[in-house]
């Protein structure tokens, strides 16, 4: 029998919480091991270079929370910093699941992400341009489209139960 990854994780978290409340250590450990096994298939690589972590203390049977970092590259293919992300997965009546990303780009070189050529013409390199909210929104939207595709594919894939 198969279930979607998000369904199995939600079910295991619920079962694990029930075992904890009933002091059933044996099955608590079995559910914990199964969660670890499933998380081995979580997105890792292609910028998500430190893997994906399940934030179990923030999860319920109707909400999954994941954290991951993204290693950015500039237009020259050089690494230019990290951004931190939290993904919250909730049920959707129309689309099975909703993915909500909360992103922090403080560790990334935003100028490199946007492309320095957008900041100044060759002859005006001495002038500096402020990074606008629109610039940050463009970066966030582009990254979140990628993250959505990657995590939706994984979460809606099947896992044997």
Position 20 confidence tier, pLDDT thresholds 50, 70, 90: very high
Please say whether the beta carbons of 98 and 92 come within 8 A.
yes
Q: Which two tokens stand for residue 101?
A: 């990303």
Q: With 50 as the cut, is the pLDDT of residue 120 above it?
A: no
Q: Which two tokens stand for residue 121?
A: 């013409």
* Residue 110: pLDDT band with limits 50, 70, 90: confident
pTM of the shown model: 0.85
| Strand 158-160 relative to strand 96-104, pairing | unpaired
Q: Is 83:108 a contact under the CB 8 Å cutoff?
A: yes
Average pLDDT over residues 107-120: 62
């Amino acid at each position: 029998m198969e279930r979607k990854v998000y369904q199995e994780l939600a079910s295991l978290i619920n079962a694990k919480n029930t075992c904890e409340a009933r002091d059933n250590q044996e099955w608590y450990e079995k559910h914990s091991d199964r969660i670890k096994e499933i998380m081995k298939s979580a997105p890792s690589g292609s910028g998500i270079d430190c893997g994906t972590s399940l934030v179990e203390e923030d999860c319920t049977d109707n909400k999954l929370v994941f954290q991951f970092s993204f290693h950015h590259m500039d237009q020259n293919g050089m690494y230019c910093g990290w951004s931190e992300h939290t993904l919250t997965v909730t049920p959707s009546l129309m689309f099975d699941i909703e993915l909500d990303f909360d992103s922090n780009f403080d560790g990334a070189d935003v100028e490199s992400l946007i492309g320095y050529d957008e900041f100044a013409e060759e002859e005006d390199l001495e002038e500096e341009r402020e990074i606008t909210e629109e610039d940050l929104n463009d970066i966030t939207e582009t990254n979140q489209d990628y993250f959505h595709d990657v995590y939706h594919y994984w979460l809606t894939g099947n896992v044997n139960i």
